[in-house]
C-alpha cells in the first residue's frame, strides 16, 4: 500500500516544492493541508489548486478563522499573553491549531507521517512536532527544509526543472508570518539590530507619527471575553477584525524587539498586532477594576508562565491545560465596559464601568460621603510594619 504524508501547506515556494520533493524521496502520496487563520492574501481555492498542480494527491483547505479567534486568541487574551512582556504570541498561537488539523487529516486518510516546511533554527519546528507528539504520538515527522537539504536555491531549481506553477522571482526580502492576531516580520535589513525598521516592513498598521483624528470606542467584556464594540454584539472573529482595522489605522500595536528563541538564538523581530494590543490593554484595565488584589497579583505570574509555555511549543501540555482552568476561574467577574481612545500608536483607556466592579466610590473618595474608617489604619500600619521594625532594632543593637 502506498504510504501517505500529510503536509502543512502554505502555498509558498518551500511547501509547494516540498510536495514533489517528498513524493520523490519517499514514494508516498502527499496530502496538502492549508489552514486559513486570517492571514489574508491569496484565496484559499487558488492555494488548493496550486497544491494539486504541484503533485499533491489530495488537498484540503480549512477556514479556521472563527476557531482560531475563539479557541486560541481569546485564551491568549484571558491570559494577557505577552512573551517577554511584549510579544502577543501571534505565530505561537496558530501552530497548535494547524497541528490539530494535521492530526485530524492524518487520521482520516490513514497517514502515518506529517511534514512541515520549517527550518531547524526557529520555534515553529518545535511547536509543530511537540504538538503532534501530544495529539498523534504514533505519527512520524518529515522536515525536508531542515533534514534533507531542501535549501532555497535547490527549491527554486526544483520548481524550474519541474515547471511548477510558482512565481520564484517576486520574493520579499522579509520572512513574514501573519494571521488574525498579528504579523511577524524578520530578516533583510532587520538582521542588523541597529537598523531602524523601514516603513515597508508594516502592513497591518499605518505610520503612528502621521497626524490624524483619534478614534474612540467602547469595548464590552463578559467573563473576560470581548462581546461587543460600541454596543454592537459581535463574534470574536468580527471583534478582532474590526479592531485590527481601527487600531491599525491609528498605528497601534507596532513593536520591535530582540527575543529569546527556544533554540537558544536571540533574534530580532518586528511585530504589528493592533487588535491584540488594543484588546489586551482594555482587558487588563477591566481586570484592575474587577479582580481581587491577591488573585490579580498571582495572575500576573501565571500569565507569564502561560505565555512562555505557549511560546515554547507546549500548548497541549498538562501545565498549560491547568493554567487555562485558572484563567477561566480568574475571569469569572471580568465583565463590563472599557472606553478606549486609539491615537498616535497608542491605545489609552479613558473610562471603565462594570456591574461587578470592586471599585467602591465611597471607600475611595476624599470628598464628603467617605465610608473608609481612617481610625483603623493607624493600628494596621503599626502591625504591618512590626516585623521590619523588630529586625531593624536587632541590626541597631548589634551595631551594624
| 14 part of the active site | yes
Residue 25 gets the label, from left (phi > 0), alpha (psi -120 to 50) or beta, of alpha
Going by C-alpha positions, the residue among 245, 223, 227, 246 that lies closest to residue 236 is 227
Strands 215-222 and 336-343: antiparallel
Going by C-alpha positions, the residue among 186, 202, 193, 306 that lies closest to residue 253 is 202
CB of 90 to ligand ARG, least distance (A): 6
Residue 314 interacts with ligand ARG (CB under 6 A): yes or no: no
CB of 246 to ligand ARG, least distance (A): 24
DSSP secondary structure of 304-357: HHHHHHHHTT-TTSHHHHHHHHHHHHHTTT--EEEEEEEETTEEEEEEEE-TT-
Of 158-177, binders to ligand ARG (CB under 6 A) are 175-177
| 175 part of the active site | yes
Residue 306 burial (CB < 10 Å; 0-12/13-18/19+)?
buried
Residue 269 interacts with ligand ARG (CB under 6 A): yes or no: yes
What x/- string results for residues 89 through 108 when contact with ligand ARG is judged by CB under 6 A? --xx----------------
Instruction: Locate 143 and state its grid cell.
Output: 522536515
Nearer to ligand ARG, 267 or 331 (CB): 267
CB of 267 to ligand ARG, least distance (A): 6
**Which range binds ligand ARG by CB under 6 A, 180-188, 290-298, 344-352, 358-366?**
180-188
User: For ligand ARG, which residue of 32, 76, 184, 252 counts as binding (CB under 6 A)?
Assistant: 184
CB of 177 to ligand ARG, least distance (A): 4
> How far is Cα 348 from Cα 261, in angstroms, rounded to an integer?
30
| 85 part of the active site | no
Q: Which helix (H) or strand (E) holds 29?
A: strand 29-36
Residue 14 interacts with ligand ARG (CB under 6 A): yes or no: no
Residue 111 interacts with ligand ARG (CB under 6 A): yes or no: no
Q: Which residues contact ligand ARG by CB under 6 A?
A: 91-92, 123, 175-177, 184-186, 269
The residues annotated as belonging to the active site are 14, 95, 124, 175
Amino acid at each position: 500500500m502506498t504510504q501517505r504524508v500529510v503536509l502543512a501547506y502554505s502555498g509558498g515556494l518551500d511547501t509547494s516544492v516540498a510536495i514533489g520533493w517528498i513524493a520523490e524521496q519517499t514514494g508516498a502520496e502527499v496530502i496538502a493541508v492549508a489552514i486559513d487563520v486570517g492571514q489574508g492574501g491569496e484565496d484559499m481555492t487558488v492555494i488548493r489548486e496550486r497544491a494539486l498542480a504541484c503533485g499533491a494527491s489530495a488537498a484540503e483547505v480549512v477556514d479556521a478563522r472563527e476557531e482560531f479567534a475563539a479557541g486560541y486568541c481569546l485564551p491568549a487574551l484571558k491570559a494577557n499573553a505577552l512573551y517577554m512582556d511584549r510579544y502577543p504570541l501571534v505565530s505561537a498561537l496558530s501552530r497548535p491549531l494547524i497541528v490539530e488539523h494535521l492530526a485530524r487529516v492524518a487520521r482520516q486518510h490513514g497517514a502515518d507521517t506529517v511534514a512541515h516546511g520549517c527550518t531547524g533554527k526557529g520555534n515553529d519546528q518545535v511547536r509543530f512536532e511537540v504538538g503532534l507528539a501530544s495529539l498523534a504520538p504514533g505519527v512520524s515527522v518529515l522536515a525536508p527544509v531542515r533534514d534533507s537539504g531542501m535549501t532555497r536555491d535547490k527549491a527554486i531549481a526544483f520548481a524550474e526543472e519541474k515547471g511548477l506553477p510558482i512565481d520564484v522571482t517576486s520574493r520579499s526580502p522579509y520572512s513574514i508570518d501573519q494571521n488574525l492576531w498579528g504579523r511577524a516580520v524578520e530578516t533583510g535589513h532587520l538582521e542588523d539590530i541597529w537598523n531602524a525598521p523601514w516603513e515597508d516592513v508594516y502592513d497591518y498598521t499605518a505610520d503612528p507619527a502621521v497626524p490624524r483624528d483619534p478614534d474612540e470606542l467602547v469595548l464590552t467584556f463578559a467573563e473576560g471575553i470581548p462581546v461587543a464594540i460600541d454596543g454592537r454584539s459581535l463574534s470574536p472573529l468580527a471583534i478582532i477584525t474590526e479592531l485590527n482595522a481601527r487600531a491599525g489605522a491609528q498605528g497601534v500595536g507596532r513593536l520591535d524587539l530582540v527575543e529569546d528563541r527556544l533554540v537558544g538564538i536571540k533574534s530580532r523581530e518586528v511585530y504589528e498586532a493592533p487588535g491584540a494590543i488594543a484588546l489586551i490593554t482594555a482587558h487588563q484595565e477591566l481586570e484592575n477594576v474587577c479582580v481581587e488584589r491577591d488573585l490579580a497579583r498571582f495572575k500576573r505570574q501565571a500569565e507569564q508562565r502561560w505565555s512562555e509555555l505557549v511560546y515554547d511549543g507546549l500548548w497541549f501540555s498538562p501545565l498549560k491545560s491547568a493554567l487555562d482552568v485558572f484563567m477561566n476561574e480568574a475571569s469569572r467577574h471580568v465583565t463590563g465596559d472599557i472606553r478606549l481612545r486609539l491615537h498616535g500608536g497608542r491605545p489609552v483607556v479613558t473610562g471603565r464601568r462594570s456591574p461587578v466592579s470592586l471599585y467602591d466610590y465611597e471607600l475611595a473618595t476624599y470628598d464628603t460621603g467617605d465610608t473608609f474608617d481612617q481610625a483603623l489604619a493607624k493600628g494596621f500600619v503599626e502591625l504591618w510594619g512590626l516585623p521590619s521594625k523588630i529586625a531593624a532594632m536587632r541590626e541597631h543593637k548589634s551595631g551594624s
